[in-house]
Structure 1
Amino acid sequence: MRLYADRPVLRTRQLTADLLLLGWAVLWVLVARVVHAAVLVLAEPGVQLESLGRSIGETMGDAAGVAGDVPLVGDDLSSPFEALGETGDGVAGAGQGLQDAVHTLAWVLAVALVVIPVGWAVVRWAGWRLGWAREAAAADRLRTLDPDLELLAARAVATAPLPALAGLPAGTGAAWRAGEPTAVRALADLELHRLGLRSSRSERGVDRAQLR
């Protein structure tokens, strides 16, 4: 499949569009990375909360073990420490949950910042580039056969801007209706020019050179 036009002007526009799309994608990936890192800063309180909860849990667990060793009243003495230890574990769990929520938010924002703007650009770019590629491939097939140049000529008559049609030699329309090959080629070349492709004359010149 043809990717770029033959004519320098359109080919330059296509290359520019491709590079702009690539640059746009890189830009939003960098923005997403910055936002991801910034959002992760919000997880720091969760880290500290988890650390505090674990510290309380471990300290109260040790205290409960020591209190449990006291004869006769060990169980009664250890119960408050065990309750405090469970509370510390709950605090640690809450800190971990906060960190998980922040990490999830950071990834969701980062992915959204890449997918939405880049996806929008890709859709617009693909519509233009793939549409041109389909038209160029069809035009390539039509311009290789003289009878099918009539189709390219008819397309030019139907869709070419009036200034472009007015720039053709006088009598081109009447000559085209009469089937004059020169007029057919002139109109066909107008459509090929719109697509940024070589003229039908250039194509036949290349074919003849190859045959020699």
Structure 2
Amino acid sequence: MPLYAPSPALRGRQLAADLGLGAWLVLWVLVARTVHGAVLALAEPGRAVEDLGASVAGSMSSAATAAQDVPVVGDDLAAPFEALGSAGGSVGGAGQAAQDAVGTLATVLAVVLVVLPVGWLLLRWLPWRVQWVRAAGAARRLAAADPAVLAARALATAPLGRLADLPPGTADAWRAGDPAATHALAAVELDRLGLPADTLAGGGRPLGLR
């Protein structure tokens, strides 16, 4: 099933829309990466707090070990250092938690910045592209099997200016069952979909069609 119209004009619009969607996606991915990096910079204070807590915990642990070597009162002397070391570990844990929260926020913001704008455009681009693919496929089948249906649709939906370009009496001739008039009107509908007139059974554009 073709994804692009044979008509250069419509195919150009389809390609422009597809490239526009790709560019839109790349733009918002770049924006999301920039925001992600900027938000992650907010984790630096948490990293500093974690490093400070780890340093305090290490120093107090060393001091507690040294204090325990003091005869008789070693355990009593080590207890305050051990408590300070435990507090330092808690401070380091708080710093790590802050970093995790910032990392989660950065990831969520990056995802939202890609999903929302790209999804908004995709919901407009995809139905338009799918609708054309389905309509073009149906038109090809009708052109080969029953062009009268395409002729009827052209009479109902084609711009008046396009219908006015047809030879006078085309509608009356179509109602009378004239194959040339049927092909002329069907060609109008095919042209709207960017399909060539030779898609019709028998091929070619009817004589007298401007």
| TM-score in terms of structure 2 length | 0.93
In 2 relative to 1, CA 203–22 (structure 1 residues): closer, same or farther, beyond 3 Å?
Answer: farther
Quote the Cα distance in structure 2 between the aligned partners of 1:11 and 1:203: 23
* Contact 1:143/1:200, CA 8 A, preserved across alignment: no
The answer as to whether partners of 2:139 and 2:150 remain within 8 angstroms in 1 is yes
One-letter code aligned to 1:183? A
Which one of 162, 166, 169 corresponds to residue 168 of structure 1? 166
Match of 2:207 in 1: none
Matched, 1:12 2:12: yes
Q: What aligned pairs does 1:1-212 form with structure 2 within 5 A after superposition?
A: 1-145=1-145, 148-200=146-198, 204-205=202-203
Contact 1:51–1:92 (CA under 8 A) maintained in structure 2: yes
Q: Indicate the SS of the match to 1:78.
A: helix
Q: Which amino acid aligns with 2:167?
A: P
2:15 and 2:199 map into 1 onto residues whose CA distance is 26
SS of the counterpart of 2:202?
Answer: helix
Deviations along 1:62-85, one digit per CA (max 9) or x if unpaired, are 111111111111111111111100
Moved more, 133-142 or 166-175: 166-175
Q: Per the alignment, in what secondary structure is the counterpart of residue 195 of structure 2?
A: coil
Q: Which amino acid aligns with 1:175?
A: A
Q: Which amino acid aligns with 1:150?
A: A
The one-letter code of the counterpart of 2:32 is A
1:157 positional shift: 1.1
Deviations 1:103-148 (A, max 9, x none): 1111111111111111111121111000000000001111123xx0
One-letter identity of the residue aligned with 1:155? R
**Greater displacement, 174-183 / 160-169:** 160-169
Alignment-mate amino acid for residue 160 of structure 2: L
CA RMSD of aligned residues (A): 1.4
Per-residue deviation, 1:200? 3.9
**2:76 partner amino acid:** D
| Matched residue type, 2:99 | Q
Deviation at 1:201, TM superposition (A): 6.7
Asked whether the equivalents of residues 183 and 200 of structure 2 are also in contact (C-alpha less than 8 Å), the reply is: no
Could you tell me how far apart the structure 2 residues matched to 1:91 and 1:179 are?
89
Do the aligned residues in 2 keep the contact of 1:150 with 1:188 (CA within 8 Å)? Answer: yes
Contact 1:185 1:200 in 2 (8 A): no
Deviations 1:2-37 (CA, angstroms, capped at 9, x unpaired): 111111100100011111111111111111111111
Unaligned runs of 5+ in 2: 205-210
For residues 189 and 182 of structure 2, the distance between their equivalents in structure 1, rounded to whole angstroms, comes to 11
**What is the Cα deviation at residue 204 of structure 1?**
3.5
Decide whether aligned partners of structure 1 residues 203 and 33 sit closer, same or farther in structure 2, where only a CA change above 3 A counts: farther
Q: CA deviation at 1:159?
A: 1.1
What is the percentage of aligned positions where both structures have the same residue?
Answer: 61
CA contact (8 A) 1:21 1:122 kept: yes
Distance change (3 Å), C-alpha of 1:143 and 1:190: same
After superposing the two structures, state which structure 1 stretch, 196-205 or 44-53, moved more: 196-205
Cα distance between partner residues in 1 of 2:23 and 2:199 = 38
